[in-house]
Structure 1
Amino acid sequence: MTDPTTPPSPETASPAILRLGTRQSPLAMAQAEETRARLCAAHGWPESAVELVPVIASGDRILDRPLAEIGGKALWTKELDVWLADGTIDAAVHSMKDVETVRPATLTITAVLPRADVRDTLIGADSIATIPAGARVGTSAPRRAAQMLHTRPDLTVVSFRGNVATRLGRLERGEADVTLLAAAGLDRLGVADVGTPLDAATWLPAPAQGAIGIECLAARDDVIALFAAIDHAPSHAAIRAERALLAGLGGTCHSPIAVLTRHDGDTLHLIAALYSPDGTDRVTGEITVPVGAPEQATTLAHQLLADAPAAITRHFQSVG
């Protein structure tokens, strides 16, 4: 069996038009399979034309500590970044929620697939209100922890990392009473009937949640041209707007940020919230920007930081 932590040798690599890198987790593989299916359908290729090249990312190997303490979102991308640079793969598939806001100038997000369900799903209770008093909420996401503590300060947050199956297993073993997972991930794994999706208008999702992005070298015009056929422009614009908001905030993996983007004709309407990590403080704001200029969402970042108390702003590093 090929070691997924090292690239395949040229001698064993199968002929393909394009090599697509991906993390080896079940959800990441499902996302890569979806990308391959869309690409092959768009170009009339057989499935064998796109080779999936999996890697065990650092973030999947280290599960006993919060991501923010061990390197942040770069732990999901660094192995694939190396493979893009050395030509082992032509493009990489990412959950856009897990991609660092600032990426190397040598790389570009060349396509975003149609965005899936952006909601969080609550597992272990029918609603936030019905979670028993004093219950333990399993999550390692600062946003989810802060949102839950803001709504239910009587609850306790316990660290919960791992893929979907791991977290569901930990919940079943009683390591927490409830947990939260992305509805899109559950759907892509064929378990959409688990838990209760939360209304996105009142429980704002993470930036870029539910979106699959494809990244390649900015100099690879040939790869960029191939992926243009499956780029979903409305989803791509929304992701660009949300990432512009993140860039303007200077947020890190420690920064609780939530945002919901809705399309309205030629505009995007963003509603965002920032929290203090303990959920005590919250500031919200909204903005409407042209679909053709999603980077204008940085204006909302400046507004939020201007309105926020120090308990929130100390966790952000505005880039001006």
Structure 2
Amino acid sequence: MTSVVSDSKRTIRIGSRKSQLALVQTHWVKEELQKSFPDITFEVHTMSTQGDKILDVALAKIGDKGLFTKELELGMINQEIDFAVHSLKDLPTNLPEGLALAAITERENPADALVVHEKYQDKQIDTLPAGAVIGTSSLRRLAQLRHNYPHFNFKDVRGNLNTRMKKLDAGEYDAIILAVAGLERLGMSDRIHQVIPSEISLHAVGQGALGIECRADDTELISLLKEAIEHPQTRDRCLAERAFLRVLEGGCQVPIGVNTEIAGDTLTLKGIVASVDGQRLVQDTISGAAKDAEQLGSQLAESLRQQGAQEILNEILAEVQRDS
């Protein structure tokens, strides 16, 4: 195989979704790589994914497996691009044969953000009125918020960040829930009205981090990516989270939230599985050596299964099968 490092004539093609956020993230990766390897040419190639095209159906109804990644993965398999930049939370935990998660970048704030209509600028999530219309496309957010705020009305919201903001500002929603990291990356920090505490909503697996996927046999490229942009603490935290999700998800979108911390060499992972109606929550925490991140994630998943999470998962799977 051609060496990325030794062959300065190689052009490396980076795959990205066409959304504004995806392009901001991809160009950040490109710039970081260009700084480390000025003699290599990096090109961005954009593709539309199924998730970008289907905007009138809730994600939970169409399933989220590969919705935002499949076309990019085919591009790698067909040698059209060399690697793809994903929001790690969109990348399925089981990758197609021949592809690998090559690197994980330093995580931005993984929390959820409350963004409000102008008429509620004086409110926090705890003080919004009963019946307030809250927009979210995430079952994870929906289940946890229903648990804490059963008096709100929840309504699905799809589209890119700008589209969602326009719907909010037009009065279709009283507030919407978005990722802090996405708003910050797009220079929209001023719209973050409140960072929602983890006690109310644990974040999505991988939220705030970028995942770089490439062909598993491109060892030189993998070495290059790890050297230039991998962040070891974020990697360990996200590998624990992804292992937790991998054991639990069972092939459909599931309300699963996580929170991870690393202190010294110790990783602490908190996980939650919730029923969609928010009536039942099963949660627990595990700590151990960061080098055993994936094992810790799997152990926590099995612990939650035994505490009642499996019943919730079975009900969700049965509901998905009825709807399909």
TM-score w.r.t. structure 1 length? 0.89
Letter in 2 for 1:161: R
Letter in 1 for 2:213: E
Which structure is higher in helix share? 2
User: Deviation string for 1:115-153 (max 9, x for gaps)?
Assistant: 111111101154221111011111110011111110011
User: Deviation string for 1:184-226 (max 9, x for gaps)?
Assistant: 0000000111121112354211111001011000011121121
1:133 and 2:130 are equivalent in the alignment = yes
Q: Which residue of 2 aligns with 1:308?
A: 308
Q: Which residue of 1 aligns with 2:237?
A: 238
Q: Which residue of 1 aligns with 2:42?
A: 50
2:90 to 77, 89, 98: 98
What RMSD over aligned residues (CA atoms) do the two structures have, in Å?
1.7
CA distance in 1, matches of 2:10, 2:160: 29
**Residues 174-185 of structure 1 mapped to structure 2, 5 A cutoff:** 174-185=171-182
Letter in 2 for 1:102: N
1:191 to 188, 192, 195: 188
SS of the aligned residue for 1:60 comes to helix
1:117–1:210 contact (8 Å) kept in structure 2: yes
Q: Which residue of 2 aligns with 1:289?
A: 288
1:33 and 2:33 are equivalent in the alignment = no
SS of the aligned residue for 1:190 comes to coil
Q: Which residue of 2 aligns with 1:22?
A: 16
Count of aligned residue pairs for this structure pair: 301
Letter in 2 for 1:211: A
TM-superposed deviation, 1:239:
1.0
CA distance in 2, matches of 1:154, 1:37: 46
1:206 to 201, 204, 207: 204
| CA 1:252–1:218: 2 relative to 1, 3 Å | same
Q: Which residue of 1 aligns with 2:155?
A: 158
1:201–1:260 contact (8 Å) kept in structure 2: no
User: Deviation string for 1:273-294 (max 9, x for gaps)?
Assistant: 1110010111110011321111
Counting aligned pairs with the same residue, the percent is 38
TM-superposed deviation, 1:96:
0.5
1:70 and 2:62 are equivalent in the alignment = yes
TM-superposed deviation, 1:80:
0.5
SS of the aligned residue for 1:193 comes to helix
2:133–2:173 contact (8 Å) kept in structure 1: yes
- Structure 2 residue runs without a partner (length 5+): 1-8, 318-324
| CA 1:291–1:153: 2 relative to 1, 3 Å | same
CA distance in 1, matches of 2:216, 2:255: 30
User: Deviation string for 1:62-93 (max 9, x for gaps)?
Assistant: 10001232242311111101110111100000
1:86 and 2:89 are equivalent in the alignment = no
| CA 1:202–1:71: 2 relative to 1, 3 Å | closer
2:145–2:201 contact (8 Å) kept in structure 1: no
2:104–2:212 contact (8 Å) kept in structure 1: yes
1:249 and 2:248 are equivalent in the alignment = yes
Q: Which residue of 2 aligns with 1:227?
A: 225
1:206–1:258 contact (8 Å) kept in structure 2: yes
- Structure 1 residue runs without a partner (length 5+): 1-14
2:261–2:268 contact (8 Å) kept in structure 1: yes
1:57–1:79 contact (8 Å) kept in structure 2: yes
1:21–1:53 contact (8 Å) kept in structure 2: yes
2:91–2:211 contact (8 Å) kept in structure 1: no
Moved over 4 A (4+): none
TM-score w.r.t. structure 2 length? 0.88
CA distance in 2, matches of 1:277, 1:245: 19
TM-superposed deviation, 1:94:
0.4
CA distance in 1, matches of 2:154, 2:200: 20
2:103 to 98, 102, 111: 111
TM-superposed deviation, 1:44:
3.2
CA distance in 1, matches of 2:127, 2:251: 32
Q: Which residue of 1 aligns with 2:142?
A: 145
| CA 1:90–1:222: 2 relative to 1, 3 Å | same
Letter in 2 for 1:217: R
2:141–2:201 contact (8 Å) kept in structure 1: no
2:98–2:217 contact (8 Å) kept in structure 1: yes
